[in-house]
Amino acid sequence: MNMRGDVAVILAAVDGERPSTRALSAFLRETRSVGGELILVDATRFGLEPESEFAPEIRRIPAARGRLVPELWAEGLRASETRWVAFSTTSMEPVDGWLEQLITCQERTDAAAVGGAITPASGLGRLDRAVYLARHAAYARPERDAEPAGDNALYLRRDLDRVASSWVDGFWEPEVHAALERIGASRVVDPAAVLHAIGGARAGELFPRRFAHGVRYGTTRPLGRTGKWRVLAAPLAAAAMAARARRGLKRASRPIRGFGPDVWIAWGVVTAAWLLGESVGIIRRRSHATKSATLNARLAEAV
């Protein structure tokens, strides 16, 4: 039985980035090709232009400005009822056959999560290239056993429902993937399922958003005994992130050019926003833990 139509692609559009006609038309082409549905969770001030020729075929879910991409993904996931659900953003553009490739890989492997590759589109500005280095370079040509990138991944809905508690407050893919792993569900990456990063970042919205992502990461990630030192180890973390980005560029199936010193300087600013947010998140978390421990001790003494 052909079930290709039982798929939804959920796109997040964040504040400060007008939903790209280029991205929407390309993703709509993909969903049309398999009879699927395109859902746009739109947190921008602009919205989807109603006169767009493809607007009637897109289910738009308005969202509050300032919300982060994983929060928008979770909103779209709650609104979908399909067998498969794929996630991306309006700063991406799929190559022909992207969605079919993901579905075919999922059927062949029976994996709960299938990811793909992300390569930079030509003509990106300096800031967008810096964002690519910070967020996507590791997926220029990922290993098959790599963790899928949230911006390019397809999931079996039945498995996501089994770990629904992991995406209550947002579809943060490392947390979802960890939950899937705990129930024995597998994941795989198909490098042939390619998205091009087409950018659209604006500095005024980008840096606060990266800071907010860092805060969320710092308040939720397991820290272990070394947690108190992570704030001081930010320079080492930046070096590790730079090395990871360089390895990703070198692994690409074709040379990726245009990432000179000016782009790496911009990358440093983008990364600093993240690391500062992570440090703030860690400090808040440890402060909360200390207050809770003190309160529990006082309660115990009272008893």
Tens of pLDDT, residue by residue over 250-270, are 988 778 888 999 999 999 999
The first and second tokens of residue 248, run together, are 């990703």
User: Poorest-confidence range of 69-78, 107-116, 278-287, 289-298?
Assistant: 289-298
pTM of the model: 0.89
Taking alpha carbons only, the member of 20, 165, 173 closest to residue 86 is 173
Q: Across residues 295-300, what is the average pLDDT? A: 44
Q: Which residue has the higher pLDDT, 168 or 235?
A: 168
Q: How far apart, in whole angstroms, are the C-alpha atoms of residue 251 and residue 246?
A: 9
pLDDT score for 299: 43
Q: Across residues 95-116, what is the average pLDDT? A: 97
Strand, coil or helix: 214:
helix
Taking alpha carbons only, the member of 12, 17, 292 closest to residue 170 is 12
pLDDT score for 200: 87
Q: Across residues 186-212, what is the average pLDDT? A: 93
Percent of the chain residues past pLDDT 70, beyond the cut: 85
The helix (run of H) or strand (run of E) holding residue 155 is strand 153-156
User: Predicted confidence band at 232 (pLDDT cuts at 50, 70, 90)?
Assistant: low
Tens of pLDDT, residue by residue over 111-126, are 999 999 999 999 999 9
pLDDT score for 22: 87
Q: Which residue has the higher pLDDT, 284 or 135?
A: 135
Q: Across residues 129-157, what is the average pLDDT? A: 94
User: How many residues are recorded in the chain?
Assistant: 303
Q: What's the N-to-C CA distance of the chain in angstroms?
A: 65
User: Predicted confidence band at 49 (pLDDT cuts at 50, 70, 90)?
Assistant: low
For residue 252, give the DSSP letter: S
Q: Across residues 2-15, what is the average pLDDT? A: 85
Q: How far is CA 293 from the centre of its chain?
A: 34
Tens of pLDDT, residue by residue over 262-291, are 999 999 999 999 999 988 988 887 665 444
DSSP string, 283-298: HHHHHHHHHHHHHHHH
Alpha helices in 136-233 (DSSP H): 157-162, 173-182, 203-220
User: Poorest-confidence range of 45-54, 59-68, 113-122?
Assistant: 45-54
